[in-house]
Amino acid sequence: MHCVGFDISYCCVIPPYNSIQAQVVKSGENGKLPKLLTPEDGVKLYYYVKDNSYSEGNKMRYWSVPKDTNGDGDMSDPGDNIANYVWTHLFIYQDLEGTVPKNWKKSQRLHVGKEINVPIDAGPSGKPMAGGYMDYAGDNGGNIVFTEPMKAVQGLVPHVPLKLTASNIWDALGLPLTAFNDSRRKGTIRSITSKDFQPYQYSMVQLHDKNGKPITVNGKIVEFFGTNPVDIPNCIVCHSGNGKAAKLSRQEGLTAVDKEYNYWKKNYPDISEYMARLSAASINILELHDKRHGTHFLKRIQSKCFF
C-alpha cells in the first residue's frame, strides 16, 4: 500500500511510486524441473494498469507544480518541477546496472531529475503509466542507483549503491499511480470527490516473444493480474470543517483554515466539498506547525496561498 497526496501543489506526503513486479515460470514436464524464464529465453513482459493510463492533469498535480530543481535561481527550465526535484538525490554514472567508470569523477554523475528529467506520467526510472516492457534484474539485482552518504563519511564512502529491486525479477518501478480510473475521472482536479477513489488498482502483465508478439496457450494470451493498492491521506477528517484540529485552531485564533475553504467555495463553482476541505486541511497543518514549532511555512508561501 502506497500513500500519496495527489494534489502536490499543497502537500507531498510521499512522491507517487508504485511498482509492478513479476516472474515467469515455465512448467516442468517430461521429467524436467520448472524454470524461471529470462530475456535469454526469448521472452519479454508487457505491463499496464487497467483503465489507468495517465496521472497528471485531472488526477494529480505533480509535473505542473513549479520548483527550482537545478538551483539556478529561476524556474524557467523544462525540468523545474516537483516531479523532478524529489529525485535529485539519486544518480547514476551511465546505466541502471550500477556501472561505475574507472577513474570516475563527480562531473560524470547523472542525477535523476536534473541531467535525467522524469517524463510526464512516468516514474523516475522512465517507465510510463501508459504501459510498456518491464526490465529484468539478473543474479546481482537490477535498477541500481547511487546516493551521497552522510557528510561524516563522504571521504571514505564516495557513493552508496541502492538496489531498487531483488534479483531475478521483472519490474516496472516507480509508476506515478493514482487511485483514479480513466473512465471515471471527469472534469478538473477541483471536482474530485471521495466517490472517485478506487484504491485497489488492477495491474496486468502479459508474456510476449522477443518480437513483441503476445504468446498464447490454447488460443489465450498468457497474462496475469495483481493489485496495486494506493491509499489517500485523509487529513480533512481532523484538519478541516468540524474536525478536532480545526476546532482547536479556531480557539487559538488561527483562521487560515476557514479563509482557504471559503476562497475555493466562493471563486470556483466546480470545487467539490472534498477538494475544498483538502486544501483547507493542508493550510491548517502548516499554520499549526508555524505556531507550535516557530516555523514560517505560510510566510514563505504567502504569494501562492489563497487565504
Structure confidence at residue 241 (pLDDT): 95
Distance CA 79, CA 266 (A): 34
- pLDDT, averaged across the chain: 91
Residue whose cell numbers read 525479477: 169
143 and 48 belong to one structural domain = yes
Same domain, 268 and 149: no
The verdict on 145 and 260 lying in the same domain is no
Residue ending a domain, choose from 233, 256, 281: 233
| Grid cell at residue 33 | 524441473
**pLDDT (tens digit, 9 = 90+) per residue, 209-242?**
999 999 999 999 999 999 999 988 789 999 999 9
d(CA 201, CA 59): 14
Write down which residue in 180, 198, 233 finishes a domain. 233
196 with 78, same domain? Answer: yes
CA 201 to CA 175: how far, in whole Å? 12
Residues 250 and 229 in one domain: no
Q: How far is CA 204 from CA 20, 131, 223, 224, 282, in A?
A: 9, 9, 7, 6, 35
Tell me the CA end-to-end span of the chain in Å, nearest whole number: 33
User: Can you tell me the distance from the alpha carbon of 111 to that of 127, in angstroms, rounded to the nearest whole number?
Assistant: 17
Q: Are residues 221 and 299 in the same domain?
A: no
The mean pLDDT of 17-35, rounded to a whole number, is 92
**Number of neighbours of residue 193 by Cβ within 10 angstroms:** 11
pLDDT at residue 3, rounded to an integer:
66
pLDDT in tens, 81-90: 999 999 999 9
Rounded Cα–Cα distance for residues 75 and 66 (Å): 7
Q: How far apart are CA 125 and CA 134, in angstroms?
A: 11
Average of per-residue pLDDT across 42-59 = 97
Compute the average pLDDT of residues 21-30. Answer: 92
| Residue 40 and residue 164 in one domain | yes
What residue numbers bound the domain in which 32 lies? 2-233
Q: What is the pLDDT of residue 136?
A: 94
Q: Domain tally for the chain? A: 2
**pLDDT tens string 259-276:** 999 999 999 999 999 999
Q: 26 or 304: which carries more pLDDT confidence?
A: 26
261 and 300 in a single domain? The answer is: yes
Q: Is the pLDDT of residue 303 over 70?
A: no
Q: pLDDT at position 156, please?
A: 80
pLDDT (tens digit per residue) in 107-144: 999 999 999 999 999 999 899 999 999 999 988 777 89
Q: Cα separation of 114 and 97, whole Å? A: 19
The pLDDT tens digits for 153-190 are 777 888 999 998 889 999 999 999 999 999 999 999 99
Last residue in a domain, options 216, 233, 250: 233
Instruction: Determine the number of helices (DSSP H) and then strands (DSSP E) in the chain.
Output: 6, 16
Q: Which residue's entry shows cell 489563497? A: 306
Q: Residue 77 pLDDT more than 50?
A: yes
Judged by DSSP in three states, 73 sits in coil
Same structural domain, 13 and 158: yes
Please tell me the predicted confidence (pLDDT) of residue 307.
43
| Same-domain status, 23 and 168 | yes
Check whether residue 266 and residue 126 sit in a common domain. no
If one compares 10 and 52, the residue with the highest pLDDT of the two is 52
- Shared-domain flag, residues 180 and 249: no
